[in-house]
Amino acid sequence: MILTIDIGNSNTVFVSYNGHKNINERVVTGKELAYEYYKLILKDLNIKPEAVIVSCVVPRIQEDVRRAIFDVCGLEALFINSTTVKDFDIRLDNPMDIGADFIATAMGAMGKYDCPIIIADIGSATKLTYVNNEGAFCGGIIIPGIGTSVEAMYSYIPHLPQVPLEIPSKVIGTGTIDAIQSGIMYGIIAQIEGLARKMEQEIGQECVKLLTGGYASLIHEHTEGFIYEPDLLNDGLNEIYKRGMIV
């Protein structure tokens, strides 16, 4: 059994693979007392993996996570980054800049689909990335995520009512709440669809388009032309391990 851990800025997802996939846990990312937090979660999972592979975009908790994994599972965790993953073609101005999440989602995509691929990862930031015909990671676009945009709006306009993050029935709102919801939810959908079209125009061909990330569950049914892959990052971690790409 392989345990994969996706530690994002907002959420952490534990998925194990043993011939089939099990979503073991989805929790808020613990940034304070991280060692105790992740140690407790790992104990509660009550599984005995043969390897643990991790994508972590919160550097300050990585050592605490590593210790928790070692103390509970008796294993040295495999943390992916630009130096620990081999045979991954990175075509950026500075390949060292690539984050673990970009590597993992790209590998998850290539494990299931033919290139070229555009991946829209909807999390704390919204990221659209491009994998070319040769399977090379060629960059992309980063914009503020849904949660980040909402927090910014309320900090600058505090008198606005707090609204639940859900798709309203109409694009044109007839009240403040549904107008805000429409702006947030249909706004991110329009960004994703529009930017993907711009990317395809620049690339010069249509791409397989994938939608993933923590907020993708809110919008995938309303986003045209994208395939929803909720666990793409964890799938990519498993793919990296299966292919023996960890140095």
- Spot the catalytic one: 44, 64, 71, 101: 101
d(CA 105, CA 119): 8
Strand runs labelled E in the chain: 2-7, 11-17, 21-28, 51-56, 78-79, 117-122, 125-131, 137-144, 208-212, 227-228
d(CA 159, CA 47): 48
Identify the sign of the CA torsion 173, 176, 182, 188.
positive
DSSP 151-217: HHHHHHSTTSPP--S---S-SS-SSHHHHHHHHHHHHHHHHHHHHHHHHHHHHTS--EEEEESTTHH
Whether 101 sits among the annotated catalytic residues: the reply is yes
Q: Which amino acid is at 208?
A: V
Residues known to be catalytic: 101
